[in-house]
Amino acid sequence: MSLVRRATPEDAAEVLRLRQVMIDSMAPEPGETGWHAESLPTLRARLSSPDDDFAAFVVDHPDSPGGLAALAAGTLEYRIGRSGNPHGRIGYVFSVATDPTARRRGYARACMEDLLAWFRTKNAGYVMLTATESAEPLYASLGFTRDPDPSMRLHL
């Protein structure tokens, strides 16, 4: 029996906590968390729509009832098709995190494997993510490769 399950609306606060763990792992010092309260209702709504274009897979924390040990979340987007992806579906992984007390147990890998399986059922042509240097070996072992990134960003 798999330890991984699809996150539910009841997991929303813990999903946000693990997302903050991921964000903090990339920053020089812990970030502010005031945005969690505002984000919570939207996340609960998204987690209550299992046929949506968003999915989060989690593992319950074995030592903390009600807590989560790991998370992998992503979304499916549509772009006009092209060679190699005629249906234009692209998966994006944007949150992978493990509680610091539950690391090195394979939980993030298990969550990623279920998220990738979900992308396959949604007929994604490929999946993209941004990897930290420390996480790159996990993603490489799952088949991800480094791509040159010509992306730009505009904050609205």
User: What is residue 22's predicted lDDT score, i.e. its pLDDT?
Assistant: 92
Please give the average per-residue pLDDT across 102-121, as a whole number. 96
For the chain, the domains span 4-141
The residues, ordered by sequence, that sit 6+ positions from 67 with a Cβ below 8 Å of its Cβ are 14, 60, 61, 99
- Kindly tell me if the per-residue pLDDT of 124 is higher than 90: yes
Count Cβ neighbours within 10 Å for each residue of 100-112 and write b for 16 or more, e otherwise. eebeeeebbbbbb
Least Cα distance to 21 among 99, 110, 92 occurs for 99
Query: pLDDT of 90-99, one tens digit each?
Result: 999 999 999 9
> Measured between alpha carbons, how far is 129 from 109 in angstroms, rounded to an integer?
14
DSSP 3-state of 67: coil
Residues 129-145 have a mean pLDDT of 91
Q: What CATH number was assigned to the domain covering residues 4-141?
A: 3.40.630.30
**Per-residue pLDDT tens over the stretch 25-78:** 888 788 888 899 999 999 999 999 877 899 999 999 999 999 999 999 999 999
pTM: 0.91
98: closest CA among 88, 106, 90? 106
CB atoms within 10 A of CB 22: 17
In the structure, what pLDDT confidence band is assigned to residue 1 with cuts at 50, 70 and 90? Answer: low
pLDDT at 147: 82
